[in-house]
């Protein structure tokens, strides 16, 4: 397959999760992504392990996010190394960085300098909170920005503490937003010759993610409340949510209350009208909760699914992995790292019916420095 | 500003959230997005209200997601209307749809037919579970797919029920993934002339979103557990999480335990070693929880932030809206709908330092049909 971004060169001055997530997707799409790393230690994310799992000297997490990339080491304080970086910039289409504001300026690698070398460059800056204002120098960390952004008031039940999403949602979304704008800017460049400075932050990304909530809040002027029971979406009516059964859990999405009643034979539901489902949602959900405890997940599925009601079981990763519906997606791929094989997920989109995989592991620190220098030397001879 | 996708025509045969989210971002980027809707009733999402809020005959939610688009009505069972649709397809660059598998085939609008009319078309299909396998005809609804995908085991505490994210994460992510691949395919088309069929599903998207979790699970072969207390990420050590204080909540991200101790003067923490922070995280978090209840959020921030420890307050939407750090982002924009003004969020990225807004409201059903037909007639005369 001719991958969409074949021939596009991306320089990744990024670390940890948000910038490298953008690079991962660009690499999946066929771009040539080169991580610019410090000599020896390399990118800081190499030492960020989750569950203390390591692949080699770098963590499993690093390998997950940085597969299919190359590594070029340079000391950005060293004039000779900077010469190489500038040559590389001359050949690149895209730069990403997620340093705190001011860091790239100090190195002489901010947009104003870089566009002198390469006016068509698409220069992408990911920050925590933008480049000005009182938070600009605060740590741009995912949990902290979830907490500031209001997001932690969306999940969990009314009487719970504010609850963060249990994974790096801001970083992941920011990487994905960046890719959309990078590709948009490349399309514009092809047409107009113009490069672009793209700036986004975890905070703006998490506000955009909550666009339904913010728009509702702007209109109603009232902080809305999570359900006290089985909250699935603080703006939706009963029965929406996850319920405990005799032997597990079941998810119930939108449906008319009396259709649910007809399927699960829950007499007590007849006292409620359809118009009550938002206002009295906690009472209704309490009735459903008690009733669903009297049967198994399978028994409820048998009663509801043949009626095409929007109901599904709740699975963990292990249970999901055994399902035929998971297997046919072919979401797994292997990365080959010397004598270690790492199983990870693939790029989630099919092009012309084909999945596309890449077994190329994350690079060793500086693994491609000499090779890239040799190629650049040929160009500049 | 020359918006990146100026001149690109997108036909949106999509409803509810996932497909229309992709269209919203493409429109933000400058594309001409035309919703293809049923006569009279229009897109089903027009009647999907959250918190029972309405703008006009369509819900506030619909207006939030469909601003900056046009509407063309056609009865896809009517041969004359289909002639117009085929002319439109001849002029379009991109098609999106998120019908259940088989629906577009029945209308004669599947990729194989459409590419006969326009071989360069980028045809994008969003489904719940892919086009084959046991789940293909199941409802492709966000909460249900969150529940199947394992995601509900990531958030909340160990003893809680599985917890869904309190908003439409699968739909939103799927829309954002679609945009990345649509733009990638447009770049390839410019180079090779090739169109593309792009296929993605909420399920694949939510698995990709959990790539850290899945990779860790594949390696360790064990379902990991959420913390019993203040879970912030099931794979990270103490103190990571949100804690209650005397008067509110505080978020604490990664940091060495003894640095935290030095800042908040929590004697009981000295009994733990840094190596214990994953294994004994619940014991450690219990100690921190008790201690933080003895002071206000402000008092803890004063003790920790000057040391550059990764700590922030936890805000709701109302509190956030009053902060200077929010105001300087200029995230709000107004949509003008006859005599109603709707405040919503803007596209979260800056290009060359500029935000870009669009006050154009979501269209009335069929608002642009005649105008578009007239323009097409000129082309085909």
Per-residue b or e along B180-206, where b marks 16 or more CB atoms closer than 10 Å to that residue's CB: bbbbbbbbbbeeeebbbbbbbbbbbbb
Q: Which token pair is A231? A: 């909250």
Residue B280 DSSP class: T
Give the SS3 label for residue B219: helix
A241-321: CATH class: alpha beta
Is A215:A209 a contact under the CB 8 Å cutoff? no
B79 Cα distance to chain centroid: 36
Contact B130 A311 (CB under 8 A): no
Closest chain A residue to B349, measured at CA: A200
Confidence band for A312, pLDDT divided at 50, 70 and 90: very high
Nearest CA distance, A365 vs chain B (angstrom): 21
Write down the residue that tokens 């092809």 correspond to: A190
Q: Is A307 on the interface with B (CB under 8 A)?
A: no
- For B211, the closest chain A residue by CA position comes to A345
pLDDT surpassing 80 at residue B52: no
- A180 and B50: CB-CB below 8 Å? no
Please check whether residue B228 touches A, CB under 8 A.
no
**pLDDT value of residue B95:** 98
Other beta carbons within 10 angstroms of residue B77's beta carbon come to 9
pTM: 0.97
As a whole number, mean pLDDT of residues B321-348 equals: 94
**A224-279 pLDDT per residue, tens:** 899 999 999 998 999 999 999 999 999 999 999 999 999 999 999 999 999 999 99
Chain A residues touching residue B168 (CB < 8 angstroms): 212, 233
- Chain B CB contacts of A188 below 8 Å: 2-6
Residue B155 forms contact with A (CB below 8 Å):
yes
Residue A237's SS3 state is coil
Please give the pLDDT value at position B257.
Answer: 95
Catalytic residue among B28, B93, B142, B171: B171
The string of pLDDT tens digits covering residues B63-120 is 999 999 999 999 999 999 999 999 999 999 999 999 999 999 999 999 999 999 999 9
- Picking from B169, B319, B348, the nearest residue to A208 by CB comes out as B348
Q: Which two tokens stand for residue B230?
A: 């203040």
Handedness of CA B186, B191, B195, B197 (dihedral sign): negative
Q: Which residues of A touch B180 (CB under 8 A)?
A: 25, 29, 176, 179-180, 183
ipTM over 0.90? The verdict is yes
- Tell me what pLDDT residue B338 has: 84
pLDDT band at A48 (very low <50, low <70, confident <90, very high): confident
First to last CA, chain A: 33
Cis peptide before B227 (omega within 30 of 0): no
Is the pLDDT at B51 greater than 80? The verdict is no
Domain ranges of chain A: 9-209+330-380, 241-321
Q: Is the CB of B159 inside 8 Å of chain A's CB atoms?
A: no
Q: Which of A164, A177, A130, A195 is nearest to A19 (CA)?
A: A177
* Three-state secondary-structure class, residue B359: coil
- Which of A94-98, B25-29, B53-57, B111-115 is predicted least confidently? B53-57
Is residue B160 annotated as a catalytic residue, yes or no? no
Nearest to B31 by CA among B90, B76, B75, B96: B96
Model confidence at A380: pLDDT above 80:
no
For the record, the structure tokens of B285 come out as 């978090």
- Strands B340-345 and A196-201, how do they pair? unpaired
DSSP label of A314: -
Q: Can you tell me the mean pLDDT for A289-298?
A: 98
For residues A192-211, b (16+ Cβ closer than 10 Å) or e, as one string? eeebbbbbbbbbbbbbbbbb
Cβ contacts of A332 on chain B, cutoff 8 Å: 218
Asked if A334 reaches chain B (Cβ–Cβ under 8 Å), the answer is no
Q: Residues of A numbered 1-60 whose beta carbons fall under 8 angstroms of chain B's beta carbons: which are they?
A: 2-8, 25, 29-30, 50-53, 60
Reported as a single tens digit per residue, the pLDDT across B286-312 is: 999 999 999 999 999 999 999 999 999
Q: Choose the closest CB to B348 out of A61, A177, A220.
A: A177
Distance from CA of A337 to the nearest CA of B (A): 14
Identify the pLDDT of residue A56.
86
* Res. B18 pLDDT band, cuts 50 70 90: very high
* Average of per-residue pLDDT values in chain A: 95
Active-site pick, A171, A247, A338, A339 = A171
Residue B59 DSSP code: B
> Does residue B263 sit in helix, strand or coil?
helix
> Which neighbouring-strand residues pair with A341?
A336
The average pLDDT across A188-198 equals 97
pLDDT of A379 higher than 90? no
> Nearest CA to A285 among A245, A234, A240, A235?
A240
Alpha-carbon gap, residue B284 to B270, rounded angstroms? 10
CB A271 within 8 A of CB A283: no
Res A381: pLDDT: 65
d(CA A128, CA A143): 11
- Name the residue in chain B with its Cα closest to that of A221: B318
CATH of domain B9-209+330-380: 3.40.50.10540
Nearest chain A Cα distance for residue B35, angstroms: 20
Q: How far is CA B365 from CA A69, B39, B62, B92, B370, in A?
A: 47, 7, 12, 20, 12
Overall average pLDDT of the A17-29 stretch: 97
CA separation, residue B175 to residues A81, B14, B33, B49, B186 (Å): 41, 11, 14, 20, 16
Q: Decide if pLDDT at B53 tops 90.
A: no
């Amino acid at each position: 397959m001719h991958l969409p971004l074949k021939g596009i060169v991306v320089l990744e001055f990024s670390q940890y999760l948000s910038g490298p997530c953008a690079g991962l997707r660009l690499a999946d799409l066929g771009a040539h992504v080169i991580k610019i790393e410090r000599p020896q230690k390399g990118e800081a994310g190499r030492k960020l392990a989750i569950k203390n799992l390591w692949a080699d000297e770098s963590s499993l997490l690093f390998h997950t996010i940085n597969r299919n990339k190359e590594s070029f080491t340079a000391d950005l304080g060293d004039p000779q190394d900077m010469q190489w970086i500038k040559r590389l910039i001359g050949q690149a289409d895209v730069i990403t960085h997620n340093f705190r504001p001011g860091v790239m300026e100090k190195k002489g690698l901010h947009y104003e300098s870089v566009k002198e070398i390469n006016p068509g460059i698409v220069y992408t800056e990911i920050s925590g909170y933008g480049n000005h204002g009182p938070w600009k120098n605060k740590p741009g960390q995912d949990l902290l920005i979830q907490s500031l952004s209001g997001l932690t008031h969306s999940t969990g039940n009314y009487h719970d503490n504010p609850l963060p999403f249990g994974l790096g949602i801001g970083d992941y979304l920011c990487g994905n937003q960046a890719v959309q704008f990078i590709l948009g800017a490349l399309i514009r460049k092809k047409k107009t010759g113009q490069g672009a400075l793209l700036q986004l932050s975890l905070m703006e990304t998490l506000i955009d993610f909550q666009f339904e909530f913010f728009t509702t809040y702007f209109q109603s002027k009232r902080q809305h409340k999570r359900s006290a029971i089985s909250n699935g979406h603080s703006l939706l009516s009963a029965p929406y949510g996850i319920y405990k059964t005799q032997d597990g859990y079941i998810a119930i999405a939108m449906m008319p209350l009396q259709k649910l009643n007809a399927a699960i034979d829950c007499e007590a539901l007849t006292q409620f009208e359809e118009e009550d489902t938002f206002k009295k949602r906690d009472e209704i959900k309490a009735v459903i909760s008690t009733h669903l405890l009297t049967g198994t997940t399978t028994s409820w599925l048998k009663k509801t699914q043949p009626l095409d009601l929007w109901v599904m079981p709740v699975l963990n990763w292990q249970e999901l992995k055994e399902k035929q519906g998971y297997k046919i997606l072919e979401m797994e791929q292997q990365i080959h790292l010397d004598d270690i094989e790492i199983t990870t997920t693939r790029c989630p989109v099919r092009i012309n019916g084909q999945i596309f995989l890449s077994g190329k592991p994350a690079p060793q620190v500086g693994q491609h420095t000499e090779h890239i220098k040799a190629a650049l030397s040929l160009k500049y001879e």
